[in-house]
A and B are shown apart, each in its own frame.
Chain A
């Protein structure tokens, strides 16, 4: 295990950036579960789809204007909007029919989506891993070199986390969403159209996930099967933090991201196993998570 400060710092930054991605994906997962009581197994698969769409748009743009980091921005925005629309459509046509159904049936529906979307990705993009290569010079930090893009990702992650918090805490729609976590019936009784709120939350959750996939393309190549690795980690994050709690999801993302990134130094094969040990411990000790309330348990 390397012990010089430089490489530890690199692990810290890569852990933090990983934590940001975990947060962006898990926050949607947690929100969807909190509001609709649906555990969206396909969340990371939609994340993956967002990554592929970003890649295609970026490649198209780069073909016209040449390789540039600036072109990533419109590609990410377009993919985020596309996934917002796809999320909306999925909620309207499929997920909607699952409210009030048994938990296993809900899980199976989203599981079926994983299989279908996964194969559609294979149909359109093939099986090879895709990556956007950007000409970014590594920056010297304490005698080691860090990819400055990591700092950008951490900053973007924090900004989106802040926006999400602002949306939930300060806007009218956000307050309705939070109220729906506690009592759908009451919100509905106030004359607010719950079905629209559901569609919005689902679409928003999926869009944020797609956004993170696009932003991460320059450092993480995407490929089939990555969605399952990610969804299992996001479950861990959401359970550790507590379902429905955005603060809990944020703290748990930091915990899981950093633990993962440091355990890779010690035991590369077992990095995920360590996360599962933490998850099992939390589930046994506080099944409702570090920041969740016992309410739903």
Chain B
């Protein structure tokens, strides 16, 4: 009975449930460091989940997704900074600053997406990269508004949220809500339309679906969630810098999604756990982090192209074969 249930149901809820419990219990680990790593995993995990709307569900690869993460981070930072300087940072102002990042990033994604969704494949990838770099250079060289290369320092959350433990649980709450919302979106008719046009754009268009509009809407949703993740980043790291919009940052969700598995909703989150935890702990032993992650990615691409969660699919398939 349980066996056959395991074969049939969507694996996402159990995987998310296990992850959720692990995240709830994570602060039991000794010291402050796991909290810092945990918060980073959650924020970057949300960033990667939003990226996977474009990659896993829509079938296009964006190399400029960090632009919306950075846009969100800068929006909340630019609103928070004057409040902190005036010493008037309250909860309402803080939450408004975070919330403001969402429409700003969505608007940025609307403009970039308007052009990107006209293209597919390699051209989509390069155009998104070019827009990302363009935004990076605007933030980098507009010193009077963004402080350029110096970034914006001294960001923080108000009173109770300042503690690492509370901010961790706050981030967990936000990310859980966002992830559930994202999951709902991928299970909606809209989500299935995305999968359909990923598999065949022409046939989807034949059904009378305006594919560009669906793609643009999805791009905007992905940008909005990336912006939310970015907004959480500033108060966590206490600063934002133009690098948050650069191609390096855009590579992060790509790696995470590949490591975890793009075909699974929870894949990017699992990827974030592995990538971020490795980054945090490997860098204590060696400065050759790029070499390490490079070799891991090489191994994944060659031997496990479906990502870590594709192992679950493998088990299921074998079980099914054995059953019949």
**A112 contacts B247, CB within 8 Å?**
no
Cβ-neighbour of A116 out of B119, B123, B133, B298 (below 8 A): B298
- Given known pairs A109-B298, A273-B137, the reply for A119 and B122 (CB within 8 Å) is no
Residues of A within 8 A of B324 (CB): none
Assess A104 versus B133: contact at CB under 8 Å? Given A109-B301, A120-B291, A273-B138.
no
Q: Mark A91-122, 1 if CB is under 8 A from B, else 0.
A: 00010011001011101110111111011101
Q: Contact check, B302 vs A108: say whether CB atoms are below 8 A apart.
A: no
Cβ distance B139 to chain A, nearest Cβ, rounded Å: 11
Whether the Cβ atoms of B291 and A119 lie closer than 8 Å is yes
For chain A, residues 60 to 113, give those with C-beta under 8 angstroms from any C-beta of chain B.
94, 97-98, 101, 103-105, 107-109, 111-113
Establish whether residues B129 and A235, one from each chain, have CB atoms under 8 Å apart when the complex forms: yes
Instruction: Assess whether A279 is in contact with B130, with CB atoms less than 8 Å apart.
Output: yes
Are the C-beta atoms of B133 and A232 separated by less than 8 Å?
yes
Indicate whether B127 reaches chain A with its CB closer than 8 angstroms: yes
User: Is B294 located at the chain interface by the 8 A CB criterion?
Assistant: yes
Chain B 103-134, CB-CB to A under 8 Å as 1, else 0, gives: 00000000000010011011101110111011
Q: How far is the CB of B11 from chain A (nearest CB, A)?
A: 22
Q: Is A295 an interface residue (CB 8 A)?
A: no
Instruction: Tell me how many residue pairs across A and B have CB atoms closer than 8 Å.
Output: 108
In chain B, positions 44-79 with a C-beta closer than 8 Å to chain A are 55, 61
Q: Is the CB of B305 within 8 A of A116?
A: no
How many residues of A are counted as interface, with CB atoms below 8 angstroms from the partner's CB atoms? Answer: 40
Q: Tell me if A276 and B290 are in contact (CB < 8 A).
A: no
B251 close to A111 (CB less than 8 A)? yes
The verdict on B270 contacting chain A, using a C-beta distance below 8 Å, is no
CB contacts under 8 Å to A, within B72-98, are none
Which of these, A115, A277, A280, contacts B290 with CB under 8 Å?
A115
Residue B140 is within 8 A (CB to CB) of chain A in the complex: yes
Q: Does B288 contact A (CB under 8 A)?
A: yes
**Is B36 located at the chain interface by the 8 A CB criterion?**
no
- Check A39 for interface membership: any CB of B closer than 8 A: yes
Which A residues are CB-close (under 8 A) to B131? 276, 280
Within the complex, what minimum Cβ distance (angstroms) separates B222 from chain A? Answer: 16
B126: A residues at CB distance < 8 A: 235, 239, 279, 283
A270 cross-chain contacts in B, Cβ below 8 A: 137, 141
Does B101 touch A at the CB level, under 8 Å? no
Q: Nearest-CB distance from A239 to chain B (Å)? A: 6
Tell me the chain B residues, 235-276 only, with Cβ under 8 Å from chain A.
247, 251, 254-255, 258
Kindly name the residue among B130, B297, B298, B300 whose own CB sees the greatest number of chain A CB atoms within 10 A: B130
Between A and B, 28 residue pairs with Cβ closer than 8 Å are A103-B61, A103-B121, A103-B125, A105-B305, A108-B254, A108-B255, A108-B297, A109-B302, A115-B291, A115-B297, A116-B290, A116-B298, A118-B290, A120-B291, A123-B291, A235-B126, A239-B123, A269-B140, A269-B141, A270-B137, A270-B141, A272-B137, A273-B134, A280-B130, A283-B123, A283-B130, A284-B115, A287-B118
